[in-house]
Amino acid sequence: MNGQGRFNTALPAQREAFKYRIDAAISRACEAFNLVGPDDYPTVEEGGTRPPAPDGKTYYDDWFKAMRGAAIQQYQIEKSSQTPA
């Protein structure tokens, strides 16, 4: 079972607790890495583009995608170096 399935079958109190922990983790990441959090994103009309992040900051979702991509790439490099020739 994947994580999404467990979240969907969780009790409402469990879902709230999980959401609180995720929001807290995002908030800490935003402070530590000078990110603009999802709650602070500018309002953009549907189909419009979001303006650049202010003051040299990065939007959280852009940062997350970059970090996820880097982690996957590093995993693939390590995995391929362990494959016997």
Query: Structural domain tally of the chain?
Result: 1
70 pLDDT exceeds 70?
A: yes
Amino acid at 53: A
Q: pLDDT per residue over 18-42, tens digit each? A: 999 999 999 999 999 999 999 999 9
Give the pLDDT score at 69.
97
Tell me the C-alpha distance between 39 and 54, whole Å. 14
Domain span at 35: 3-82
For residues 45, 47, 69 and 41, what is the CA-based torsion angle, rounded to 10 degrees?
A: 0
Tell me the C-alpha distance between 56 and 39, whole Å. 18
